Structure 1
Amino acid sequence: MMIPAKLVSGGLALAGIVNLLPLMGAAGVDWLRSLYGFEITSPDLEILLRHRAVLFGILGLLLLAAVVRPGLRGAVGLAAAASMASFIAIALMVGGYGPAITKIVYADIIGLAALVPMGLSRFAPPHR
């Protein structure tokens, strides 16, 4: 089964955007508060969340780079899928989360689904 290249590229771009959205949290507490909907009550939490924002920005940029650099797709796709799937799994295991985490779970489900065409294309026979 041949997976259309535009579907793979579009999925990578969508997953890249999903991962870039938290990057604005690196700009400070006000951005973090608007992203997550809760107060950042300590410098420790601020540092962790701002660093998280930077890491997601890096992952988002790598996903966007993979749109035009197919050699990046395997490793970047796997890293992004593992990141999103693990967040969903942790949220479901812990439970009791609020609306801010619910939004992130939904965004990660969308991002994970967007990576399916890329994942399937890795197993498709080569184009002849």
Structure 2
Amino acid sequence: MKYVPIVALLAAGILHLLPVAGVLGAGSLARLYGIGVSDPNTAILLQHRALLFGVLGVLMLCAVALPWLRVTALAVALFSTASFLAVAVLVGGYNPAIGRVVWADAVASVLLAAGLVAELWRTGRFSGQGAVAGL
């Protein structure tokens, strides 16, 4: 049980570092997401998104070594992956490249949720009534 949060953070951290290549420009973004990026405004937004994923990935990898950071990193990462899934489902019509991101985020969400519950349980912040205490 004590390794579940670590495995979740490692897997999701590495997953979140993969899109950082999008910072390199439109060609990298096209390979990552299967879309053409000809508008500079879209490029700016997507490159910034790539940077933010890098920050989140580094946060998760740091939390592997810093137990006091784990709950925060797991919760933020879970919110990130689950919110992407919600947006993808609500908007729909995504291409196969985005479909792979949806699949990866679904797997990551399950891992992160399990990791968060395990970490809350391990640290005694998960009550038997199903409520999160101390957050």
Please state how far the C-alpha of 1:123 moved relative to its aligned partner.
3.4
Q: 1:41 maps to what in 2?
A: 38
Structure 2: state its 5+ residue gaps: 125-135
Aligned pairs for 1:64-103 within 5 A = 64-103=61-100
Cα distance between partner residues in 2 of 1:46 and 1:33: 10
Cα distance between partner residues in 2 of 1:83 and 1:104: 12
Q: Check the 8 A contact 2:88/2:102 in 1, yes or no.
A: yes
Q: 2:131 maps to what in 1?
A: none
Alpha-carbon spacing, 1:41–1:16, altered in 2? closer, same or farther (3 Å): same
Aligned pairs for 1:1-128 within 5 A = 3=1, 5-124=2-121, 126=123
Q: Check the 8 A contact 2:17/2:54 in 1, yes or no.
A: yes
When the two chains are superposed, the root-mean-square deviation of aligned CA atoms in Å is 1.5
TM-score, length-scaled by structure 2? 0.85
* Residue-pair matches, total: 124
TM-score, length-scaled by structure 1? 0.90
Identity %: 40
Structure 1: state its 5+ residue gaps: none
Cα distance between partner residues in 2 of 1:84 and 1:20: 13
Stretches of 4+ moved more than 3 A in 1?
none
Alpha-carbon spacing, 1:96–1:7, altered in 2? closer, same or farther (3 Å): same
Please state how far the C-alpha of 1:115 moved relative to its aligned partner.
1.2
Deviation per residue, 1:61-115 (Å, 9 max, x gap): 1101111101111111111111110110011011111112111111111211221
Higher RCO (CA 8 Å, separation ≥ 6 residues): 1
The one-letter amino acid of 1:46's match is: A
Q: Check the 8 A contact 1:11/1:115 in 2, yes or no.
A: yes
